[in-house]
Amino acid sequence: MDSVVFLIDMQSFYASIEKALRPELKDRPVVVSGDPERRSGVVLAACPIAKSYGIKNAETLWQAQQVCPQLTVVRPRMELYLKASLRITEILEQFSDRVEPYSIDEQFISVSGSERLFGPSLMIAQKIQDAIRTELDVYARIGIGPNKVLSKMACDNFAKKHETGIFELTRENMKEYLWPLPVDQMFGVGRRMARHLRQMGIRTIGDLARFPLDRLQKRWGVNGHVLWMTANGIDLSPVTRDTFHSQKAIGHHMTLPRDYRTPEEIQVVLLELCEEVCRRTRSHHLMGRTVTVSCRGADFDLPEGFHRQMKMPDPTNQTMEVFTYAWELFDQFWNEKPIRSLGVSLSQLERDDAVQLSLFEERNKKWKLGYVMDEIKQRFGPTAILRASSLTSAGQARERARKIGGHYK
């Protein structure tokens, strides 16, 4: 017997939360956007009225204001949105104990076995819609399928356009509804992959489902097999609460408030990024063997940058050790032109309960020092203890402490 999985997606989540809390905005075109003065003036969420003007998520704020001069712009309040997302999880857990957050505004829920309590799947979907609308005044669209991949495509391609906001894809109707869609509307297919598929004569999801599996495997290996399975509505991954418990990498990326041009000021931000990545790594009691540095140039018309990694001699979660290798990478591949964004990550993660000792340095003391600094920040706030370099004009640690996910709390 097939499972019954929902993908719950909140319509214009950030904008909907703001409208729910500010009734005077109900009939106005509203977007939630970052701070244009700090190069984050991008539309994060546009309400349906704003979208009717042609405004899209991820476009620049000035573009949105050009097509809709009467636009109401609201600064993001990420802490508020996170609380709302957690409240939605609590609502879903009233219908099933198998709830899996997919993003801040999307969650999977398996209702297999809940039918005896709440009725057929369509009735459960309507009850969930009503509960979220009553509690938060946010409209939820719901895709229903026998697995996660079909419920996701049911939501993205059909529920969002359906008058009820609910649509079910089954193994019986997927050939009628899903297969005629262009291949770039399939989950897991981006623009580049869609171009490759079209070059092979694959134009629709149905074309991909009927394409010889061995040819896809020969071209893309395991990924080719996954593409074929997705097109055929096959997904063996369960709905689980443990999705985010096994991270493959821990990283942090920052768009800079201005162009950084000198090695000295870039070092300040790179050190802060290493500090944050190592703090998060220690919070999971992990260490990393590979450090990755990514950089993007300041010239929008001629994009430049790099993404390079290096394997360190020993796994570590210590800031200065990671910074040493991160700067070596950056210095090697930087073309000495101004940059506008910078990122650092640690991968090949392993437990931190076994530390390689050294005859030449006090690694154990440094290891303990990192955890002591974390405890101070946990108790007294992220800016309770800072490196002196963060107090310079290049430092961003104090500004970043006021944000969640790159946006103000």
DSSP track, 93-157 = TTT-S-EEEEETTEEEEE-TTTHHHH-SHHHHHHHHHHHHHHHH--PEEEEEESSHHHHHHHIII
3-state secondary structure of 274: helix
3-state secondary structure of 239: coil
> Catalytic: 106?
yes
Distance CA 99, CA 242 (A): 10
List the beta strands (DSSP E) in 300-371: 305-316, 339-351
* 374 is known to lie in a ligand binding site: no
**HSE-CB of 379 using CA atoms within 13 angstroms:** 7
Rg (CA), the chain: 24
* 105 is known to lie in a ligand binding site: yes
Distance CA 15, CA 31 (A): 6
CB of 61 closer than 8 Å to CB of 74 = no
> Per this entry, what is the length of the chain?
409
Distance CA 5, CA 98 (A): 10
First to last CA, the chain: 45
| Dihedral angle, C-alpha 145, 151, 153, 157, nearest 10 ° | 90
Distance CA 192, CA 199 (A): 11
3-state secondary structure of 361: coil
Scored b (16 or more CB within 10 A) or e, 191-225 reads eebbeebeeeebebbbbbbebeeeebeeeeeeebe
3-state secondary structure of 334: coil
3-state secondary structure of 58: coil
Q: Provide the phi-psi class of 305: left if phi over 0, else alpha when psi is between -120 and 50, else beta.
A: left
Among 106, 265, 275, 321, which one carries the catalytic annotation?
A: 106
Binding site for Mg(2+), by residue number, is: 9, 105
Binding site, by residue number, is: 9, 105
Which residues are marked as active site? Answer: 106
